Amino acid sequence: MNKYELLCIFEATTEEEKRNQLLDKFKGIIEVDGEVENVDEWGLRKLAYEINKEKEGYYVLVNFTTNPDTPKELDRNLKIADEVIRHMITRIEE
């Protein structure tokens, strides 16, 4: 089991209910073979540069532990979700 960190940016116009549904879906993917340790919602922040003509985004940081195959599936689902502007999954070295 490895430790990972997911930072994803949702469109600023995404409703809270829809955002929570997506987060629950992503947490469900992680919890199949791992454990979500922490979910830190940073809220609305200004982007460093425009992405798809968006100037703001809703940032969410998720720390989790899982096997090495899960991030691939999580990445695939994040790419499919239209509400996610950008995401990055990094492995935390211990």
In this structure, is residue 60 part of a structural domain? no
Kindly report, residue by residue over 54-87, the tens digit of the pLDDT.
999 999 999 999 999 999 999 999 999 999 999 9
Domain harbouring 8, CATH code: 3.30.70.60
Kindly report, residue by residue over 2-61, the tens digit of the pLDDT.
999 999 999 999 999 999 999 999 999 999 989 999 999 999 999 999 998 999 999 999
If one counts the domains in the chain, the total is 1
Which domain covers residue 31, as residue numbers?
Answer: 2-37+46-52+66-88
In this structure, is residue 59 part of a structural domain? no
Residue 23: is it exposed, middle or buried by C-beta count within 10 angstroms (0-12/13-18/19+)? Answer: middle
pTM of the model: 0.89
Q: At what angle do helices 16-33 and 70-80 cross, to 10 degrees?
A: 160
- DSSP letters for 9-32: EEETT--HHHHHHHHHHHHHHHHH
